[in-house]
Structure 1
Amino acid sequence: MTANSPAEVAAQYATDRNLRVRIETHERYGVGPGLEPRVDELLALRGDEALLDVGTGPGDFPGRLHAQGHRGRLVGVDLSPGMVERARETYPGVEFVRAGADALPFPDASFDVLTARHMLYHVPDVPAALVEFARVLRPGGRFLAVTNAAGYMAELWDVVAEVVPDEPLLAGLLDSRAGSAVFSEQNGEGLVRAAFGDVRVDFLDSALVFPSPEPVLTYLESMTALQHLTGEDRRRVRAALERALAPHFCAGGWRVSKRVAFLRGVRS
Structure 2
Amino acid sequence: MGNDEAMFTVGEFAAKAGVTHRTLRYYDSIGLLQPSAHNKSGHRLYSLEDFARLQKIMTLKFIGLPLDDIGNIIKYDIDGKGFKNPLELQKQVMTQKIRHMQEVSAAIDEALLMLNKGEKLNWDKFINIITAINADINWPAQYQNASNLKTRIKVHEDYSTNNQGWMEWFFKQLNLPDNANILELGCGDASLWVKNFAFIPDGWSIMLTDFSPGMLKDAKSNLKNKNNRFKFKMADAQMIPFEDETFDAVIANHMLYHVPDIEKSLSEVHRVLKPKGIFYASTVGKKHMSELRDIIQKFDCRLITIKSWEHTEKFHLENGMDKVSKLFKNVKLKRYEDNLIVTEAKPLMDYIFSMPGNARQGFSEEKLMEFKIFLDNEISVSNGIFISKDTGFFYGTK
- Given candidates 277, 286, 301, the residue that maps to 1:141 is 277
The answer to whether structure 1 residue 226 and structure 2 residue 358 are counterparts is yes
Counterpart position of 1:3: none
- Given candidates 302, 322, 333, the residue that maps to 1:168 is 302
Counterpart position of 2:387: 256
Indicate the SS of the match to 1:100. coil
The answer to whether structure 1 residue 46 and structure 2 residue 177 are counterparts is yes
Unaligned runs of 5+ in 1: 1-10
Moved more, 116-125 or 17-26: 17-26
Instruction: Determine if contact 2:336/2:391 at 8 Å carries over to the other structure.
Output: yes
Structure number with greater Rg is: 2
Counterpart position of 2:251: 115
TM-score by length of 1: 0.85
Unaligned runs of 5+ in 2: 1-140
Aligned ranges for residues 205-216 of structure 1 at < 5 Å? 205-216=337-348
Evaluate the alpha carbon distance shift between residue 182 and residue 98 of structure 1 in structure 2; reply closer, same or farther with a 3 A threshold: same
Evaluate the alpha carbon distance shift between residue 99 and residue 206 of structure 1 in structure 2; reply closer, same or farther with a 3 A threshold: same
RMSD over equivalenced CA pairs, Å: 2.2
Greater per-residue strand proportion: 1
The higher-RCO structure (CA 8 Å, 6+ apart) is: 1
Shift of 1:143: 0.7
CA distance in 1, matches of 2:160, 2:205: 31
- Given candidates 372, 376, 383, the residue that maps to 1:246 is 376
**What amino acid maps onto 1:180 in structure 2?**
T
Instruction: Determine if contact 2:171/2:196 at 8 Å carries over to the other structure.
Output: no
- Given candidates 186, 190, 194, the residue that maps to 1:55 is 186
- Given candidates 174, 193, 204, the residue that maps to 2:336 is 204
Count residues in correspondence.
251
CA distance in 1, matches of 2:144, 2:244: 29
Shift of 1:37: 4.2
Indicate the SS of the match to 1:89. helix
CA distance in 1, matches of 2:280, 2:169: 12
The answer to whether structure 1 residue 19 and structure 2 residue 156 are counterparts is no
TM-score by length of 2: 0.59
Shift of 1:13: 9.7
Deviations 1:181-210 (A, max 9, x none): 111011111110112144211212211121
Instruction: Determine if contact 1:145/1:262 at 8 Å carries over to the other structure.
Output: yes
CA distance in 2, matches of 1:241, 1:125: 38
- Given candidates 25, 29, 33, the residue that maps to 2:159 is 29
Evaluate the alpha carbon distance shift between residue 25 and residue 129 of structure 1 in structure 2; reply closer, same or farther with a 3 A threshold: same
Deviations 1:69-89 (A, max 9, x none): 422111111111111011112
Deviations 1:43-67 (A, max 9, x none): 1233321111111101121344544
Indicate the SS of the match to 1:50. strand
**What amino acid maps onto 1:19 in structure 2?**
L
The answer to whether structure 1 residue 157 and structure 2 residue 293 are counterparts is yes
CA distance in 1, matches of 2:324, 2:266: 7
Counterpart position of 1:181: 313
CA distance in 2, matches of 1:147, 1:256: 17
CA distance in 1, matches of 2:367, 2:326: 43
Counterpart position of 2:84: none
Q: Tell me the percent identity.
A: 29
CA distance in 2, matches of 1:116, 1:12: 23
Evaluate the alpha carbon distance shift between residue 74 and residue 249 of structure 1 in structure 2; reply closer, same or farther with a 3 A threshold: same
Counterpart position of 2:212: 80
CA distance in 2, matches of 1:42, 1:122: 23
Shift of 1:107: 0.9
Indicate the SS of the match to 1:241. helix
Counterpart position of 2:100: none
CA distance in 1, matches of 2:197, 2:338: 27
